[in-house]
Each structure stands twice: as structure tokens, then as C-alpha cells.
Structure 1
Amino acid sequence: MTEQTTAPPWYLGRMAGFDTETTGIDVERDRIITACVVQVRAGLPLAAANWLADPGVDIPEAAARVHGITSEKARAEGRPAGEVIEQVIAALAAVVLSEIPIVAMNASFDLTMLDREARRYGVQPLTDIVGSDMRVVDPRVLDKHVDQFRRGGRTLTDLCRHWQVPLDAAHTADADAVAACRVAWRIASTHGEIGKASLTDLHQWQTEWAREQAESLAAYFRSTPGKEHQADSVRPEWPYIPHQRGGTQ
């Protein structure tokens, strides 16, 4: 009689944290300055790749205050942006093809930024390389699903505080990427529905949860005096916003 083995839960395997720091929050116009892809697994050392790009545009002072990268530093120490984007996509493609999930806090921002940068510099976008094989875990979507009515913010700093995850050097890509993996581990290890799910099922569920969460936020804006105009900016697509012709500058 052949013994059947059960695969361990996904969160006990290797995860690849992905994070970027950028010139701003407009995914169609802003640029990536730093990026990190870090592979983590309990009991094993981190395997991190970090990039600093010269975005080819001035970095606003407000953005530099957040992540600490000035225009002068990026020009002096950064690699050409197109080269960086190509390397980041290659690293993530290798992750996907190894069946490792990409863990990204607010994935639709970072993955959309990466997609637009790829198109800006004539690099093959990640989704064109890996197709439907990509599996993404988004701590922000998971947290909102398991604790929908919790008061307070939902930034990575907020989630780390709530889930008791250390966050050193917040707003640096590598620290944020590692922290996102740890938050995902906390959520999965305490919520069986998420922890025991296959990555394929979990990816599909998050697509639906993200849409529901976006619709709820848009409805809140529409019903709140002074915030009605913000409703149109809420996007339901996840894990990235599909490219529209003429959208990238």
C-alpha cells in the first residue's frame, strides 16, 4: 500500500517578498526608484536582491522624505532605470516559474508600477512572461478580509503593529518586503481558511475580495460629504491594473 503525503501549507514554504519605493503614487506616471525581491522561509537565511534606479526624473522632496532617496543620490548611485526594471522582472519571473508565491503589500500598486515601467522602457512585462502562472499573496487584502471592521489604518506599519511583526527601517524596499511576508505568515497561521488553501484558490479568492473591498471603499466615498470625488479613483482590479493604450508616460 502506497503512503500518500500531504504537501505542507504554502506559508511554511518559501515566499518571495516584493516591494518598491517610487517617485509618487500615480502608477501611470511615477517611477520606481528602489526595488527588492527577497526570498524567505522559516529557519533559512534571507536571499535578497536589491536595486537602486536612476528614474530619469526629479524625485519630489515629499517622496524623498519617505524613503530617503534624493535625486542626487539616485543619479550618482542608481543604475539606468530600464536595466533595473528588466532585472527585477527577470527575478520575479524566476520566482513564479519556481512556483513560489509573490508576497506584496498592496500588490496592485507595485505590480502595476512594474508593468508600466516595463512598457515605458520596452521591457517585456512580467505578465507576458509568466501568463496565468503568477500567484500573489497580498497581506492588505487578507487583513481586510479576516478583520473587516477593525478600526484604524491599514498601512504596512499598522498591520505589523496589529499582527505583532517587527518592522525595522520602514519605507525601505527590503525591510517592507520581509515584513509583508511575516504578516502574511501570521495571518495564514491563524486563519485556517487562508493557511490551508492552495495558492491557486487563494489567488482567486483575493481577486474577488479585493474587488469587494474596492467597491465598499468607493461606496463609502460616494456617501461621505467632501469625499465623493475620490470614488472614481478606486480601482477594483487585482493583483495589477491592466494596461490601457496611451496610459503610460
Structure 2
Amino acid sequence: MTWHRKPLAGLDLETTGTSPEADRIVTAAVVRYGGGRPTETRTWIADPGVTIPDGATAVHGFTTEAARTAGRPAGAVVAEVVDAVTALVDEGLPLVVMNAPFDLTMLEAEAARHRVRSLFARSAPRILDPRVLDKRVDRYRAGGRRLEDLCRHYVVPLTVAHDSSADAIAACGVTWKLANRHRWLTRLPLDELHERQKRWAADQQMSLRQHFASTPGKEHRALDVRTDWPLVPPMRSGVWTGA
């Protein structure tokens, strides 16, 4: 039985901003998807301990006051999220994360900040990133590559964009549809597919870097393009010590 016929684990985070090393988790969802069973979902709301900027609120709907009222201490939430993901990974499930370097780096940085033993310190997850996979199998397709775009292309329901539960489920659905359409992916062992995604992601990001570098007015954006996947290494960040 190929890996896409078995359950998938999924992770999604909504955050205070766009820096995975410095910003904080506001909501999180961990799901068990597929394999002939109903989807199982766990969700969390955290009080990030910092002000949530208006721009982030416009994306996921949580104000600073709402997160403080409904949320639990961030350290407890981070510990439970890491525990939930580790348990599924230790069952042998691949972990689906849309734009993995953002969410996984965020989770590792938060674990360091709250002195929680992190996912990558506890396990060796095999990651499936639908963003990387889609760009590999359909490199020249016009249009966006956000989760909403992929859901439209692969005909996957997305009930509420930027809701962590809905996004985690949709990312798993996209990954399943993508693999079912491009069966050669399912014939690769998960360990090999994980390693190939490292190379594919690096190539994709290098291409983006070159595009910015050669586009008038966008040259400065080339400096911010990262090629690391699925995790930005700790030595690249100044906050991984728990600051």
C-alpha cells in the first residue's frame, strides 16, 4: 500500500507575524487525516504574550484582547502541540505542512523560547510540503501557489482560509489529491521523498532569488529568499536561545 493510502498528519499555525524566528503562535491545529478514518483534529489558542499587530489580526481574526481572553499560556500550548505532532510522527505518519520552513521553524523557535524539548530534538519527521510538491510536478502553471490557490486547482474544500484547523485539513487534502494525480510520487519511499524535497525546495528558492535579483525594483527582495527546507537552521536566528 502506497503512503497516500495511509493516514497523514497535518500541522498548521496562525501567528503574530511573518518572522518564524521572532513572531509567536496564536492558534494551532494538528490533524490525523485519511487512511479510511474520519479526520481527527486538535486545536489550540495561545496567549502569545505580545501584542498582535493589526495586519496579523486581519489575516486570522484574533486581536490581542481576544487571544488573552480565550488563549492559554503559550508555553503550555507549545508543549502540547509538540507532543501531539511527535505522537503522530512516531506512529510513522508523514507530516504535511504547507510552506514547511515557516511553521516548523516557528514551532522550533517557540519550543526554545519556552524551554520545551522540540519536535526535531525528539523525532525525525518525514515532511510533505504541498507547496514544494506542486511546484515540482507543475512548474510552469500560471497563477498563485498559496493554499487557497492549490485548493482551487486540486478541487479541495477550504471552509475558512487562515483558520488553523481548516488549513491543516485542506493541506492534507491537497497533498492526497496531488499524489493521486502524480502517482510517481507515491512510489517513492517517504525518506527518499523527504530528501528530494530538500533539493527541489532549494532549486525553487534559488530560481525565485534569481528572479528578484534580475527584476528592477525587486533586487532587495533577493536577500530575504531562504533556501533551507524544511527548517531554517538555529544558527541563522538570534532568538532560538529563548529570548
Structure 2: distance between partners of 1:42 and 1:20: 23
Report if aligned partners of 2:98, 2:129 keep a CA contact under 8 Å in 1.
yes
Q: Which amino acid aligns with 2:37?
A: L
| Structure of higher CA gyration radius | 1
Structure 1: distance between partners of 2:49 and 2:86: 25
Q: Deviations for 1:62-98, whole angstroms, at most 9, x for unmatched residues? A: 1111111111111011010011001111111111111
Deviation at 1:177, TM superposition (A): 0.3
- Pairing 1:57–2:45 present: no
Task: Report percent identity of matched pairs.
Answer: 50
Per the alignment, residue 205 of structure 2 pairs with 214
- Pairing 1:44–2:37 present: yes
| Aligned residue runs from structure 1 range 191-206, under 5 A | 191-206=182-197
- Pairing 1:244–2:235 present: yes
Residues 11 and 59 (structure 1), Cα distance of their counterparts in 2 relative to 1, 3 Å cut: same
Deviation at 1:244, TM superposition (A): 1.7
Secondary structure of 1:244's counterpart equals: helix
Structure 1: distance between partners of 2:10 and 2:114: 24
| Aligned residue runs from structure 1 range 133-172, under 5 A | 133-172=124-163
RMSD value over aligned CA atoms? Answer: 1.1
Q: Deviations for 1:146-176, whole angstroms, at most 9, x for unmatched residues? A: 1111111110000001111111011100000
Aligned residue among 82, 87, 92 for 1:89: 82
Structure 1: distance between partners of 2:43 and 2:238: 28
Aligned residues: 240
Structure 2: distance between partners of 1:228 and 1:217: 11
Aligned residue among 171, 176, 179 for 1:185: 176
Q: Which amino acid aligns with 2:234?
A: H
- Structure 2, unpaired ranges of 5+: none
TM-score, normalised relative to structure 2: 0.96
Structure 2: distance between partners of 1:226 and 1:139: 30
Structure 2: distance between partners of 1:245 and 1:230: 18
Structure 2: distance between partners of 1:204 and 1:45: 30
| Aligned residue runs from structure 1 range 93-104, under 5 A | 93-104=86-97
Deviation at 1:43, TM superposition (A): 3.4
- Structure 1, unpaired ranges of 5+: 1-7
Per the alignment, residue 4 of structure 1 pairs with none
TM-score, normalised relative to structure 1: 0.94
Structure 1: distance between partners of 2:237 and 2:139: 36
